[in-house]
Amino acid sequence: MKNLRGKAVFITGGGSGLGKAMAARFIEEGASVTVADRNAETRQEAEALGAAFVQLDVTDPKAFEAAIARLGRLDILINNAGIGAGYSALHEADLADWQRVLDVNLTGVFHGMKFGLAKMVAQNAPGVVINTASITGISAFPNAQAYCASKAAVAHLTRCAAIEYGALRIRINAIAPTIVMTPLMEQHLPTDDSRESTLARYKSMNPLPGMPEPEDIAAAAAFLASDDARFITGVVLPVDGGYTAR
């Protein structure tokens, strides 16, 4: 399993959850991985996996540009950093929450693509971009307008960029996971008696029983990054046990 030997990979939000699983999988595949995360406390675990670490807030364009410029080269960029916030009815939604979610989940991906693609174009070599979208960007969910809208926008930004950069042999795809138990989802789980019933609901919401593990999402990313996917670009790949097939 050394499909990505020698590839230079940059993963935003790589310090936790899905990004951490991707970092581990890409290292297993022989890649040289840089984890970029806002949370400096994730440095130790990233380095223990064998990744380099850079503290980066994806909403800061200057810092993002500098982090990409410092890389020797960039073959695979994974724009994965994301947050959930401000869950409420739309008419009670808070503008600051809306903007914070859009800033991280959408503008953060825009920054990654802008600076990452500039580097790939300058390298004049094939490249891969993978964005983490969500089933919430395909199907509608209540009380999560900012999150859903940000993920729908990431999915379409992915398609737009894919047709722009295809001729340069840069493939750009997204992954749309269903609910996976990561620290992001843990923080939204109720702590009272309804915790178990909420978990049971998550486990029965997809046509395939149960929930995916972070490693299942990492496996999809490893496939999309590999030459096995060499003619795949512009797709938003659900890893959702069939949720969006309904």
Query: Closest CB to ligand NAD among 52 and 168?
Result: 52
Query: Closest CB to ligand NAD among 6 and 181?
Result: 181
What is the smallest separation between the CB atom of 125 and ligand NAD, expressed in angstroms? 26
CB 51 within 8 A of CB 43: no
What is the smallest separation between the CB atom of 17 and ligand NAD, expressed in angstroms? 2
Residues that bind ligand NAD (CB under 6 A): 12-13, 15-19, 37-39, 42, 56-59, 80-83, 104, 108, 132, 134, 177, 179-180, 182-185
What is the smallest separation between the CB atom of 167 and ligand NAD, expressed in angstroms? 28
- CB neighbours (10 Å) of residue 90? 11
What is the smallest separation between the CB atom of 133 and ligand NAD, expressed in angstroms? 7
Q: Give the three-class secondary structure for 245.
A: helix
Alpha-carbon distance of 98 to 83, in angstroms, equals: 11
In angstroms, what CA-CA distances link 163 with 28, 156, 159, 233? 31, 11, 7, 8
Nearest alpha carbon to residue 132 among 108, 114, 115: 108
Whether 202 is a known active-site residue: answer: no
Nearest alpha carbon to residue 76 among 19, 129, 14: 129
Query: Closest CB to ligand NAD among 122 and 197?
Result: 197
In angstroms, what CA-CA distances link 198 with 48, 179, 203? 33, 12, 9
Q: For residue 82, report the phi and psi dihedrals to the nearest 5 degrees.
A: -160, 155
Query: Closest CB to ligand NAD among 153 and 179?
Result: 179
> Which one of the listed residues 87, 147, 202, 243 is annotated catalytic?
147
Residues known to be catalytic: 147
